[in-house]
Structure 1
Amino acid sequence: MEPASLDAQLIDAAAAQGDTPAAGRVFLDSAGSSLPPSAVVDAVVGHLRREAEIGGYRAAAERRDDLEAGYGLLADFLGCAPDEVAFTDSATRSWLSLLDAIPLGPGDRVLTTEAEYGGNAIPLLRVADQAGFSVEPVPSGPDGSIDLDALRGALDERVRLVSLVHVPTNGGLVNPVAEVAAAAHGVGALVLLDACQSFGQLPLSLAGTGVDMITATGRKWLRGPRGTGVLAVRRDVLARLRPRLVDLRGAVWTGLREVELRADARVLELWEHSVADRLGLLAAVRYASDLGVDRIAASVGDRAARLRAGLAEVPGVTVRDIGAQRCGLVSFTVDGRSAEHVRDALADRDVTVTVSSLPSTRYDMTRRALPQVVRASPHYFVSHAQIDTAVGAVADL
């Protein structure tokens, strides 16, 4: 792409900051919990005010059509059908609900990547210990992403599930999703894609990636409220799932001892939820859709590349990102300084970053002998000048 064409595609940071009052500070933690745009804040606060006026049930009834339309809105954003998506209260809830519904037992094998997230690994290992299946990390290739040859060599008819993290929490790599899905499907295995760090940052499609299930959160790159999550399940995969922990949202009590499960992805929803937060999530989906995910990805990539290049020029700083394809997460270490010290020192200068530590990605951090890294994640509302300010603040350490 020619430079002029790229510039035309990028989102103007100043315009985005107009919708983001707190973006005047150097905020580099959208991989943790981003700054919501005003439209999201207005949707959440406005509904809470309405609940205070007439009560939660009546306020929800007023927005019934909007909430129902949200399934189509989310489906369009995720490249699937409305009956293939569901809303939850977090990415963790989405992931746990799907894991619990996948039939796994003695002799079965589950493959993960070395980028597996601790929030997934802990329940997976716990369930494996109880149910008798094995959990096996597939080695990374030289660039840090999953080694596709090693994956193909590990696959056999006993592999029931491949747990794939699209973008790990501790670095900038983007794993090759379509290739993993194609290989796994060759032996009949399901593919569960953790899209926490790609949802709202990169183009993401259930049909386009070829995966069977997707889980994600609203609070990160989508810029939605905390306490929101989504999942998507291919229609033909739903019949292979065995949901256990369902309530009156996912099933109907049809007899004294009988229940009838829903036939769509909403079987994995719970009846109780924050209506205000869900409306805020839908506002965030509309906001991102209006901007265009391709433009968001290009803009985030532009900011991250500038930050990565600037940090690489600072003596004593080592950029720790891996992967042939990289995105908006930038990880680094500073000689002689703990990651917590760097985070706190930058906070004193109104530069917000966070820390990714060993328990979050134990396979990968152990392989690379890294106890922790500083993680910076600039969104499209961060200007080039703010990136340079952040680099200067690190250099001053």
Structure 2
Amino acid sequence: MEAGAQPHVQLVQQATNVGLNGRRAGRAASWTPARPFLVRSNRLGGASRWLLRLTGWPPLSRPPPCLCCSSGSSDHIPTLHSHCSMAAAADQAWTEADTAAARRAIPHLRPGLVHLNNAGCSIPMHATLAAVQDYLAREASDGGYEVFDASVDALRRPYTALATLLNCRPEEIAVLTSATAAWQQVLYGLAWGWRPGDRVLTSVHEYGSNAIALLQLAGRTGVSLEVIPETPDGDINTAALQRMLGSSPKPVLVAISHIPTSSGQVYDAAAVGALCRQAGVLYMLDACQSIGQLPVDVQAIQCDFACGTGRKYLRGPRGSGFLFCRSDALDKFEPAVLDNTGGSWSGSREYSIDPTAKRFESYEMAFAAKVGLGVAVEECVQLGIGRIWSRVQHLAQQLRQGLAALPGVTVQDRGRLLCGLVSFTVEGLTADELQQGLAARHINTSVSRIGSSRWDFEARQLEAVVRASVHCFNTEEELQRCVEAVGQLAAAAARGGQR
């Protein structure tokens, strides 16, 4: 290890030297954090943990930045400009009647259960559940192939609905089994053309599955994996990114997560896209936690690829995911794998590839889940993504304020823009103990561990956090229940472990 390098860098380098089946790869991976990231790592510690500002945003003395296109001031909370496709819906304030309607749409939710695990797996609306059940029932009565042939419109719905939500064309959408499957189809496909010395840029808060794949490919191909540093207020450092994009050799890919799995931080994805487009570098956005929660306009963001999942904020079925691939990026590479859906056996020694994003799809998947995904996305579009985002921000701010006021509780979110994921710890309790204590009080949350966000957690000296994630159907009363329950658990821990 080079002098002055951080210990965690050495661990990452060692991990990437292992190839398939545990064998040592032919080339060691090169993982080079940008210097500002290392400086930040040295600064962050228990005595300098990030504190959440709860005094509210400053008065808007000039236009706030647009959530989609990032124009306007960067000092204030983002809004939506009138020229953005989702702006009109955001103008309609959320009312008590809306909350009541949202609750009626989830009649199967167990009475008394507070579901604050929407960033893990949200509660599907009745229409989505009914569509999935109906498709499965028809498969059982009429036969799977026959129901598939008779369900052309229902199976086309995910493409048209996602195209509306993301502001793209249906031909630029592929439906897969998960966001990870979509991400890997692109990443491993691109990697066929990578050579030793090529550079890939990623983010500090990259998700564990993404980081593992990047590290594996760094070990296989010899590419250099570089981490884009953050600004002091927790956004991606676009000035540093611009320098990294301008360095030689030019990066072959920028791959970042819009929102991490472990906190409410939201990166300025559009600013990244503008720089990548200017530099002529491919840009992959993992929007797994953002699509369905906040407006994601792929034209404004200027990403070449974006992946998402059905089960989180879209409230679709598990086992459903999707990929956006910009038309002009389709022919720059081949998918990681092809079958009879993504390609055709066109000659005894030849194959052809589907001209649309369907080239990334595989023949087999749960078609009931695909139908349910289409219904879920249509429900999201009908409700209005701007209105959902406004409601989610309101609820998340209320939860953060309540938790931060409790003795012994630390809200771990940091960032210029925060979303519906609220992460926190309690002194004297492990994250698992806290999550289990809340579950015993009929409150669903989840635990984010270091393996899901290692670079970020190591920099902040965290092992795990509890994540409570709100959605538009949650109520203020449910959040108060959560705050009171955390307060009880924190007080019991302070008394010596009595719960």
Normalising by structure 2, what TM-score? 0.77
Residue aligned with 2:93, SS: helix
| Residues 1:129 and 2:203 are matched in the alignment | no
Is contact 2:159–2:374 with CA below 8 Å preserved after alignment? no
Q: Which one is further off, 281-290 or 71-80?
A: 71-80
Q: Which one is further off, 30-39 or 135-144?
A: 135-144
| Residues 1:305 and 2:397 are matched in the alignment | yes
Q: Partners in 1 of 2:336 and 2:400 — Cα distance?
A: 45
2:29 alignment counterpart: none
Is contact 2:157–2:374 with CA below 8 Å preserved after alignment? no
Residue aligned with 2:119, SS: helix
1:388 alignment counterpart: 480
Is contact 1:329–1:376 with CA below 8 Å preserved after alignment? yes
2:197 alignment counterpart: 107
Q: Partners in 1 of 2:219 and 2:420 — Cα distance?
A: 35
1:299–1:23 Cα change, 3 Å: farther
Letter in 1 for 2:329: V
Q: Partners in 1 of 2:298 and 2:364 — Cα distance?
A: 26
Give the deviation of 1:190 after TM superposition.
0.7
2:181 alignment counterpart: 93
1:293 to 371, 374, 385: 385
| Residues 1:211 and 2:303 are matched in the alignment | yes
Q: Partners in 2 of 1:273 and 1:336 — Cα distance?
A: 45
Q: Partners in 1 of 2:95 and 2:177 — Cα distance?
A: 32
Q: Partners in 2 of 1:183 and 1:366 — Cα distance?
A: 28
| Residues 1:319 and 2:411 are matched in the alignment | yes
2:105 to 14, 19, 22: 19
Give the deviation of 1:378 after TM superposition.
1.0
1:9 alignment counterpart: 94
Residue aligned with 2:120, SS: helix
Q: Partners in 2 of 1:31 and 1:51 — Cα distance?
A: 31
1:55 to 139, 143, 168: 143
Identity %: 42
2:52 alignment counterpart: none
Q: Partners in 1 of 2:276 and 2:451 — Cα distance?
A: 27
Give the deviation of 1:104 after TM superposition.
2.0
CA RMSD of the aligned region, Å? 1.6
1:83 to 150, 153, 171: 171
Letter in 1 for 2:189: A
Residue aligned with 1:197, SS: coil
Residue aligned with 2:319, SS: coil
Letter in 2 for 1:272: E
1:119–1:162 Cα change, 3 Å: same
Q: Which one is further off, 37-46 or 9-18?
A: 9-18
Give the deviation of 1:23 after TM superposition.
6.2
Q: Partners in 2 of 1:112 and 1:268 — Cα distance?
A: 23
Residue aligned with 2:194, SS: coil
- Deviation string 1:269-293 (CA, Å, 9 cap, x unpaired) is 0011111001110110111111000
Letter in 2 for 1:332: F
Q: Partners in 1 of 2:342 and 2:358 — Cα distance?
A: 6
Give the deviation of 1:185 after TM superposition.
2.5
Q: Partners in 2 of 1:284 and 1:72 — Cα distance?
A: 12
| Residues 1:223 and 2:223 are matched in the alignment | no
Q: Partners in 2 of 1:7 and 1:72 — Cα distance?
A: 24
Q: How does 1:56-75 map to 2 (within 5 A)?
A: 56-75=144-163
Q: Which runs of 5+ in 1 are unaligned?
A: none
Normalising by structure 1, what TM-score? 0.97
Q: Partners in 2 of 1:154 and 1:391 — Cα distance?
A: 43
Give the deviation of 1:69 after TM superposition.
4.1
2:278 alignment counterpart: 186
Letter in 1 for 2:99: A
2:237 to 137, 144, 147: 147
| Residues 1:117 and 2:202 are matched in the alignment | no
Is contact 1:40–1:284 with CA below 8 Å preserved after alignment? yes
Q: How does 1:237-316 map to 2 (within 5 A)?
A: 237-316=329-408
Q: Partners in 2 of 1:89 and 1:99 — Cα distance?
A: 16
| Residues 1:351 and 2:450 are matched in the alignment | no
Residue aligned with 1:30, SS: coil
* Higher normalized contact order (CA 8 Å, seq sep 6+, divided by chain length): 1
Residue aligned with 2:332, SS: coil
Letter in 2 for 1:350: H
Q: Which one is further off, 98-107 or 358-367?
A: 98-107
Residue aligned with 1:106, SS: coil
Residue aligned with 1:325, SS: coil
1:71–1:6 Cα change, 3 Å: closer
Is contact 1:17–1:23 with CA below 8 Å preserved after alignment? no
Give the deviation of 1:158 after TM superposition.
2.4
Give the deviation of 1:335 after TM superposition.
0.3
1:333 to 425, 430, 433: 425
Letter in 1 for 2:231: G
- Deviation string 1:173-222 (CA, Å, 9 cap, x unpaired) is 11011111121223221110000000100101111211110000000000
Letter in 2 for 1:83: E
- Number of residue pairs the alignment of both structures matches: 395
Is contact 1:203–1:297 with CA below 8 Å preserved after alignment? yes
Q: Which one is further off, 324-333 or 235-244?
A: 235-244
Letter in 2 for 1:359: G
Letter in 1 for 2:252: R
Q: Which runs of 5+ in 2 are unaligned?
A: 1-58, 61-89, 490-499
Letter in 1 for 2:196: P
Residue aligned with 2:154, SS: helix
Q: Whose Rg is larger?
A: 2
Q: Partners in 1 of 2:365 and 2:269 — Cα distance?
A: 31
Letter in 2 for 1:67: L
- Deviation string 1:216-273 (CA, Å, 9 cap, x unpaired) is 0000000000000010011001111222410000111011110011111110000111
